[in-house]
């Protein structure tokens, strides 16, 4: 089991060397790794390359985190275009329920920040490989999305 803690600046500056106060982490962000924006005009969901996947993701590795959301910045060429992004369970070859996000923007220079509701109950209680899938009706772009794990 992994535990994440950080020492506050006040602890470092004002406590003696023999005493350390450690505060728990209340938020962890796990970013899907790719540079720039992924573009798509494919009307069907396409899985991003395996180099961008979270391999052996297990929500039990974050025991006190009770909220998991998918967060993304989305752009399109025109308001008539729509881009979609969703979380995909590669291990079981199924989408993560309630993880689909979409947006339409006026031009490529302004992104729309979107996020899901809590997905914790939709993600299985086991190690899985998570991927991002994208699709576009018209031309759409997805900046690197991330999972936000929060402790409420």
pLDDT for 89 equals 98
Burial class of residue 9, CB neighbours in 10 A (0-12, 13-18, 19+): exposed
pLDDT confidence band for 24 (50 / 70 / 90): low
Q: Is residue 9 part of a domain?
A: no
Q: Using CA atoms, how far apart are residues 87 and 97, in angstroms rounded to an integer?
A: 8
Tell me the mean pLDDT in the region 51-79.
Answer: 94
pTM score? 0.82
For 85, the domain range is 28-150
pLDDT confidence band for 14 (50 / 70 / 90): very low
Q: Is residue 7 part of a domain?
A: no
| pLDDT digits 0-9 by tens, 68-120 | 999 999 999 999 999 999 999 999 999 999 999 999 998 777 899 999 999 99
The dihedral through the CA atoms of 108, 104, 89, 149 has a sign that is positive
The fraction of the chain above a pLDDT of 70, given in percent, is: 84
Q: Is residue 139 part of a domain?
A: yes
- CATH code (residue 115): 2.60.120
pLDDT for 23 equals 59
Domain count, the chain: 1
């Amino acid at each position: 089991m992994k535990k994440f803690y950080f020492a506050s600046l006040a602890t470092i500056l004002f406590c003696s060397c023999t005493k350390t106060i450690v505060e728990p982490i209340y938020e962890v962000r796990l970013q899907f790794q790719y540079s720039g924006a992924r573009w798509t005009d494919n009307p069907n969901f396409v899985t991003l390359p395996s180099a961008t996947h979270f391999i052996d993701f297990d929500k039990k590795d974050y025991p006190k985190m009770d909220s998991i959301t998918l967060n993304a910045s989305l752009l399109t060429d025109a308001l008539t275009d729509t881009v979609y992004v969703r979380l995909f369970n590669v291990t079981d070859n199924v989408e993560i329920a309630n993880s689909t996000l979409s947006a339409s923007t006026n031009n490529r220079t302004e992104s729309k920040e979107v996020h899901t509701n809590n997905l914790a109950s939709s993600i299985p209680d086991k190690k899985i490989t998570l991927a991002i899938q994208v699709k576009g009706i018209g031309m759409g772009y997805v900046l690197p999305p991330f999972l936000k794990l929060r402790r409420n």
